[in-house]
Copies of this chain bind each other. A is one copy, B any other.
Amino acid sequence: MRMDNYSHEIINDDTRLQLFFLPVSTDSSCSPLHWHGHLEILLMQKGYMTACVNEQKYTLKKDDMLVVNPKELHTTKTWGSAGYLLLQIPYDYLSRVLDHVSLIQFQEFFPSITMNSTQHRLLDCLVELSEIYEKKEDGYLLHFSSVVYEFLYILYRNHSHRISRQAREKANYNFERIEEVIHYVKSNYKKEISLNEAAGLLNVSPEYFCRLFKKQTGQTFLEYLNAVRLLHFHQDLLDTDYSINDLLTRNGITNYKVFMRAFKDTYGTTPGRIRAQVKD
């Protein structure tokens, strides 16, 4: 799955279903800090994923389920060959059938090892969705919709809680501040970005900025900045014929050694080998 726009993950709402569902197969892939207005559900089917939602880190293996609430900052990274089911429910889809959606907080992590009966039913629903989606029998959208609503009903009744308006407002305030930084990085990653500069966006000291960013996103600002540059570098490697040295410069990458280690960590190979494969 390519991420052309990594800050708002691309969601192809099926105009008929009004939601997005996809069984994803991928080799080592990474999607840096991003957010979207959708409720996202992820069921791991093969391999491993690490995910960070707000300040919380999770490792997902087969049958673990992750729920990302709307507008929550998150990062995902798969390791080696991985497969998962991805279901994204638009905010409007929820607010048509639920009151005060903005005050609903769904449980985030459902590890398979501690699953109870309602969690098992949730997992079964997702597997059923993938079977319906696979077969696409006549009338399958009716069946699909029925199971999606059943899933949401069980999730809502058993694995959600209300948060207060104050808590939501505070979360929104923190979210908007980090969003401003993300937006800035997205527009300026090609050039050098100093901590002072980033902290200046929020009118706070560099020290406070570092703590805030790490607390809200689970990663340091530098880790995030490097991840954005890494993603663009990798994309350019596939899409252009600029030399690797050119691409380093064009994507604002200065610390070659640190960068190469991160690249190998993420893609399991070197830029040179990827370029050679593309040319073949």
Contact = CB atoms under 8 A, between A and B. Distances in A.
Contacts of A18: 96
A97 B149 contact: no
Copy tally for this chain in the complex stands at 2
Interface string A36-74: 000000000000000000000000000000000000000
13 contacts: A16-B97, A96-B141, A97-B141, A97-B142, A98-B142, A138-B157, A139-B153, A139-B157, A142-B149, A142-B156, A146-B147, A146-B148, A146-B149
B149 A143 contact: yes
Given A153-B139, A157-B139, A145 B97 contact: yes
Nearest to A98: B139
A150 interface: yes
Main secondary structure of the interface of A (DSSP, over half): helix
Given A16-B96, A139-B153, 10 more contacts: A18-B96, A97-B142, A97-B145, A98-B139, A138-B157, A142-B149, A143-B150, A145-B149, A146-B148, A146-B150
A143 B156 CA distance: 10
A152 interface: yes
A152 B142 CA distance: 7
A89 to B, nearest CB: 11
Nearest to A132: B153
Contacts of A139: 98, 153, 156-157
Nearest to A137: B157
Interface in A1-21: 16-18
A194 B141 CA distance: 50
A30 B18 CA distance: 39
Nearest to A104: B139
